[in-house]
Amino acid sequence: MNGLRSESLSPSHDREGFTCGVTALDNYLQRQASQDMRRHVAAVFVMISEDQPQTILGYYTLASYAVETSGLPDETAKKLPRYPTTPATLIGRLARAVNHPGLGGLLLADALGRILANTREVASALVVVDAKDDSSESFYRKHGFIPFGGSVRKLFLPMKTIAQASPQSAR
C-alpha cells in the first residue's frame, strides 16, 4: 500500500473533513463511530496517507456476526459443521473519500486481510456484507461475494476463499 496504511480510528483523525458522498456513511464516521468503538459494537479502521496521517481517505467497520447455516447455499453449508449458526465477521460499513476513486478495493482487501489474520484468535468461517444499494452490491459481487438468505443484497465470502487468495497463505 504505497504510502498508505490502515489503523484504528483515533481522536487524531479528522472525521469532520471526511466525505464520501453518502450522507449516512459520512454521518456515521463523524458522529457515531467513536461511540460504537467505546461500546465494543464495531471496530473502525481508517485508511490514511503517511504524509497526512490526520486525513481519512476511507474507512471500514468490522464486527462479530453469526449466520444461520440453513440460509447459506447448499454448496457452502455442506462444507460446514452442522451447527445452527456459523461464525462470521460483518463488514458493516466501507467508504472511501470522494476524491480518492479506486480506493474501495484497497479498503476491502485491507479488511479481508485483517479478518483473515484474526481468525486464529476469533474464528470466522465467512465474511458478510449487507449492500445498501445497487452500486455497492455490484462492487461486492465483483470481488467474489455471493448472495444468500434470499436477498440479493446480503452477500458473503467464505474464509477459505479469502485464505486461498491471500499472499500470506502462499508462504
Residues 104-125: tens digit of each pLDDT: 999 999 999 999 999 989 999 9
* pLDDT attached to residue 152: 84
* pLDDT attached to residue 151: 84
Residue appearing with cell numbers 461511540 = 35
How would DSSP label each residue in the chain? -TTEEEEE--TTSBSTT---S-HHHHHIIIIIHHHHHHTTS-EEEEEEETTEEEEEEEEEEEEEEEEEGGGS-HHHHTTS-S-SEEEEEEEEEEEE-TT-TTHHHHHHHHHHHHHHHHTTTS--SEEEEE--SHHHHHHHHHTT-EEETTEEEEEEEEHHHHHHH-GGGG-
* pLDDT attached to residue 65: 97
Mean pLDDT across the chain, nearest whole number? Answer: 93
* Rounded average pLDDT over 140-167: 91
Whether 167 shows a pLDDT value over 80: the answer reads no
Digit-coded pLDDT (tens) for 55-114? 999 999 999 999 999 999 999 999 999 999 999 999 999 999 999 999 999 999 999 999
* Rounded average pLDDT over 148-159: 91
Whether 6 shows a pLDDT value over 70: the answer reads yes
* pLDDT attached to residue 168: 60
Going by pLDDT thresholds of 50, 70 and 90, the confidence category of residue 170 is: very low
Q: pTM for the whole thing?
A: 0.93
Report the first-to-last Cα separation within the chain, whole angstroms. 20
- CA-nearest of 47, 50, 49, 41 to 9 is 47
Going by pLDDT thresholds of 50, 70 and 90, the confidence category of residue 171 is: very low
Q: Domains in the chain, please, with CATH?
A: 4-170 (3.40.630.30)
Digit-coded pLDDT (tens) for 33-60? 999 999 999 999 999 999 999 999 999 9
